[in-house]
Structure 1
Amino acid sequence: MPTPRGKLTAAAPLAPLVWFKAGGAADWLFEPADVEDLCAFLAALDPAVPVMALGLGSNLIVRDGGVPGVVVRLGKVFGKVRAEGETLVCGGGASGIAVSSAARDAGIAGLEFLRGIPGTVGGFVRMNGGAYGREVADALVDVTIVTRAGFIETRPAAALGYSYRHSNLADGEIVIAARLKGQPGDKAAIQAEMDRIAAAREASQPLRTRTGGSTFKNPPGLKAWELVHNAGCRGLRVGGAEVSEKHSNFLINSHGARAADIEALGELVRAHVLREQGVSLEWEIQRVGRVKP
């Protein structure tokens, strides 16, 4: 491994860093000191070593065998947000709550939906995250990344090939910043919309449990939660993992589940929905790492 200025940890447990609180360790966990440190590290790293970015770990199953190569976690230095007119310049490590709050403080409307996305800029830019009728593609101006080779590139939103919960950002490319555009708005009205979104999430989603957010993508014209519910899967369990009684598109780690339990439960739900509803659900949660024998 190259020697960075930031923190580099071997065999770093990832379960404490992800919402499910399950899974194995990263071969290496790198927390860069700044952008220059990240660029230098990736440039010096053997190109054969895989690299994966980790945000808040809210939409992720880390398999029990751990993650090969280097997991990059962006710290506070990457979490800054500032306003430039009607545009927010956001660090890749900034949370959706931080971005929407900064927009409110600057009187920028149109970004309230980010209050409902439990992740960081890096994660929701990569997957075109969305909630409450809007998605990142509606607001993104451009994104700045560090490539796997350690170079900094800025790409316009049109170059990301956005579709539902998908972009063409390559594995190993780390989002370090993004510009999001809104429009002038009243601060009180913006706060009221953020409060509405927060209340709606609290009422309908199992936020105070060990979960991973929405498990499956909504098929065209359909709702994943409704398909799961109608297939009789609400409350279904595998090991310590369970389909939430509160929201059937959420899996929860209710009884000390292994990552294998959570993933197996998701596959069991997919099988039930295919058999009962005739629809093949696609995973929205990312599943990474090695299966433990």
Structure 2
Amino acid sequence: MARHASPLQSLLVDDRFDGDVYPNEPMSRHTTYRIGGPARFFVRANSIGALCSLVDVCADGNVPWVVVGRGSNVLVADEGFGGVAIALGRDFRTSRFEDGRFMVGAGATLSSVVQDAFRRNLGGFEFAVGTPGTVGGALRMNAGSRDEWIGERVVTVTTYRPGRGLLRRRGSELSWGYRESSFSPDEVILECELSAEAADPFKVRDKMEENLARRQQTQPLSLPTCGSVFKNPDGASVGKLVEELGLKGTCVGGARVSDVHGNFIVNAGAATAADVRALMEHVRRCVAATFGIDLVPEVRMVGFGADAPRAAAADAPVHGAHGAVGEHHG
């Protein structure tokens, strides 16, 4: 080890560190958008000890860090991320069922819980069928529909926060809102208990098939996306607003507003993060100008400045389905 190695570097090269370390790892390999420059370090922490040590070292050294899960709700800058991108590995991917509850690690996929519940003739998770991402990510954004969401199923959740340590809370002690929860930004979700109840397996199957069919019909599943780009405003649908403005098919570079759903921006081929940001800003401006609604991004921005949701490339040409378009004012 070099004499002047930082505490972070010393930790990551220590043979006792229970994790997989990838320096200068392209984040395009770890996001569903298939977009993103290199992270200074991409680290898969395989145990609670390794995760806590890593987060503590980053916090003490003012090194930026982020837990990315499976990268299904993330846009990483083309320049990359100058900190540590963390994925939850081995010990966080466990799931077991005891006493009517699922005990699930935050790194487990939500889809695995949905399927396990179905095999056990249990209901309560049908709304999440086909949802990408990890349980931890689903909890942080309170994944679900307008009528059902994962927060309703949380019995307890265990987290770690640098300087505060481990914390276990009941689900009722947390706030659950539309696409949001009350977890602190520097709080890492480790595991949770989720409630389930016995249900008619035929009704569960029918509801799952109905929800999955709706998802397949209304979402662009054949192209890389981050999921919904903006949160739906109260009493309105972003997809419908975008469709009313005729913005479906609008492009910036390789990024395109989906022809299937107006609240999805797809990577139609070699899209950059700058393309996606510029297209997001174009949609936001059009909606604000016509409807007076300021859209709030649902996708997390990693590696950008604090103004990332508002910024856009000034010289990025915007194209509609049949040619260039300017600012839309209705």
Q: Check conservation: 2:225, 2:265, Cα contact below 8 A.
A: yes
Q: 1:18 aligns with which of 1, 18, 31?
A: 31
Deviations 1:125-156 (A, max 9, x none): 01111137311222111211122348322122
Structure 1 segment 98-137 matched on structure 2, within 5 A = 98-131=112-145, 133-137=147-151
Bigger RCO of structures 1 and 2 (CA < 8 A, at least 6 apart): 1
Q: 1:267 aligns with which of 260, 278, 281?
A: 281
| Deviation for aligned residue 1:228 | 1.0
Q: 2:110 aligns with which of 96, 116, 121?
A: 96
Q: Which moved more, 1:167-176 or 1:147-156?
A: 147-156
What amino acid sits opposite 2:77 in the alignment? R
In the alignment, structure 2 segments of 5+ residues that lack a partner are: 1-7, 314-330
Q: Check conservation: 2:58, 2:65, Cα contact below 8 A.
A: no
| Deviation for aligned residue 1:106 | 2.4
Instruction: Determine the structure 1 residue equivalent to 2:200.
Output: 186
Rg larger in 1 or in 2? 2
Q: 1:59 aligns with which of 73, 80, 88?
A: 73
| Deviation for aligned residue 1:53 | 0.5
* Partners of 1:14 and 1:159 in 2: CA distance: 34
Query: Does the residue aligned with 1:269 lie in a helix, a strand or coil?
Result: helix
Query: Does the residue aligned with 2:118 lie in a helix, a strand or coil?
Result: helix
Structure 1 segment 1-293 matched on structure 2, within 5 A = 1=8, 2=11, 3=14, 4-47=17-60, 48-131=62-145, 133-149=147-163, 151-290=165-304
In the alignment, structure 1 segments of 5+ residues that lack a partner are: none
Q: Which moved more, 1:122-131 or 1:39-48?
A: 39-48
What amino acid sits opposite 2:195 in the alignment? K
What amino acid sits opposite 1:7 in the alignment? D
Q: Check conservation: 1:79, 1:94, Cα contact below 8 A.
A: yes
* Partners of 1:216 and 1:101 in 2: CA distance: 28
* Partners of 1:68 and 1:199 in 2: CA distance: 40
What amino acid sits opposite 2:123 in the alignment? A
Q: Which moved more, 1:100-109 or 1:253-262?
A: 100-109
* Partners of 1:116 and 1:223 in 2: CA distance: 21
Q: Name the count of aligned residue pairs.
A: 293
TM-score (norm 1): 0.93
Deviations 1:221-270 (A, max 9, x none): 11110011112211111111000001111000102111010011011001
Query: Does the residue aligned with 1:61 lie in a helix, a strand or coil?
Result: strand
Q: RMSD of aligned C-alpha atoms?
A: 1.9
User: What percentage of aligned pairs have identical amino acids?
Assistant: 33
| Deviation for aligned residue 1:163 | 1.7
What amino acid sits opposite 2:32 in the alignment? W
